[in-house]
Amino acid sequence: MPKMTFIERDGTRREVEAPLGLSVLEIAHRNGVDVEGACEGSLACATCHVIVDGAWFPKLSEPTEDEEDMLDLAFDLQETSRLGCQIIITDELDGLVVKLPSAAR
């Protein structure tokens, strides 16, 4: 089973199983990681904002215009920011590392 690592707000690294086809948001919820996802993954908010490790960022598909618009609302926006609901785990993303922003809006 693929794995991924969340770096929590306090710096704690949490490695979890990352089933193929699930989003980072779904994986966070399954594992009790503090990612809100107020719109339940419908791309209508930015509360599932994560900061992707720079080594992994080029492996992601390009964000859609809708995702970029929602990211404009995210707190602590970074160069490698993405919405967790839009990152779907594939074999190529086995080992993905994402950091939670310092806060959510």
Q: Which residue has the tokens 């086809």?
A: 21
C-alpha distances (whole Å) from 19 to each of 22, 45, 64, 77, 101 are 6, 24, 23, 27, 23
pLDDT computed for residue 40 by the predictor? 92
Per-residue pLDDT at 105: 57
In the chain, domain spans: 3-99
User: What pLDDT, on the 0 to 100 scale, is given for residue 104?
Assistant: 66
How many other β-carbons are positioned within 10 Å of the β-carbon of residue 97? 17
Q: Using one digit for the tens of pLDDT, what is the confidence trace for 47-73?
A: 999 999 999 999 999 999 999 999 999
Q: Measure the CA–CA gap between 52 and 60, rounded to whole angstroms.
A: 9
CATH 3.10.20.30 assigned to 3-99 = yes
pLDDT along the chain (105 residues), means of 10: 97 98 98 96 96 98 97 94 98 98 77
Query: 14 forms bridges with which residues in the sheet?
Result: 6
* Predicted TM-score (pTM) of this structure: 0.95
Distance CA 88, CA 12 (A): 23
